[in-house]
Amino acid sequence: MNLQEAINKRRAFYSLVPATINKELIDELASAASLAPSCYNNQPWRFVFVYEPDRLSELKKALAKGNEWALKGSMIIAVLSKEKDDCVLKNRIYHQFDTGMATALLLLKATELGLVAHPIAGYDEPTVHEVCNIPDEYTVITLIIVGKKDDHTHDNLTDWQKQSDQQRPPRKPLDEFAFHNVFV
Ligand SMILES: Cc1cc2nc3c(=O)[nH]c(=O)nc-3n(C[C@H](O)[C@H](O)[C@H](O)COP(=O)(O)O)c2cc1C
């Protein structure tokens, strides 16, 4: 799969079926993330790959209302970073930016491997800290729900989620966010 195909294929799908999780897969995902650029090569990103059944069940208790679809995930990746691990240049605070870039590469790698990797912000952060033994100074920026796409749209989804599985949510036209030479 070339890069453009992976960009096109990456989707935050809701209808998931189990995926096989093993060390080789986790190493491939982590390796892709590790090649992201970062300020001074600080590599502030941290990922906790949660797949052991008991801990995965505990972590799923952190899911917010509306994210029940994520109960079908075979693995949840907690994505974290802390400010002290990366550049702070006046009002520019880079740890979350750099971790976001690493996360994007991880999502594309998962796509290439035939997986769904769906990032979410809807979770109870203290529960994630507790279940994953994450020190307080780290911010849990996102959880990534990993599974395989089910060909059939699941019945228990909201109408919005069903629609999203059928068709990618629309994007802004380029001229709303891509400017030539000067802003607007
Ligand atoms: C930071 C972030 C938070 C998100 N939070 C949620 C969430 O809590 N629940 C959910 O179902 N999807 C969540 N999403 C997925 C987006 O809804 C999805 O990426 C967007 O609708 C575009 O769809 P696409 O990724 O399939 O192109 C989140 C995505 C990001 C990047």
In a domain, 41, yes or no: yes
d(CA 86, CA 57): 32
Question: DSSP string spanning 141-153?
Answer: EEEEEEEEE-SSP
In a domain, 64, yes or no: yes
In a domain, 8, yes or no: yes
As separate numbers, helices (DSSP H) first and strands (DSSP E) second, the chain gives 6, 7
Which range of residues forms the domain containing residue 91?
3-176
Per-residue pLDDT, 75: 99
Q: Domain count of the chain?
A: 1
Cα-to-centroid distance, 13 and ligand 1 (Å):
9
In a domain, 163, yes or no: yes
CATH code of the domain covering residue 46: 3.40.109.10
What's the pLDDT tens digit per position in 58-114?
999 999 999 999 999 999 999 999 999 999 999 999 999 999 999 999 999 999 999
In a domain, 104, yes or no: yes
In a domain, 167, yes or no: yes
Per-residue pLDDT, 174: 98
48: Cβ below 6 Å to ligand 1? no
In a domain, 181, yes or no: no
d(CA 166, CA 153): 8
In a domain, 36, yes or no: yes
What's the pLDDT tens digit per position in 105-124?
999 999 999 999 999 999 99
Q: Judge whether 145 and 73 are in contact, CB under 8 Å.
A: yes
Cα-to-centroid distance, 146 and ligand 1 (Å):
13
Q: Ligand 1: which of 118, 149, 166 to mutate, judged by most atoms within 8 Å of the beta carbon?
A: 118
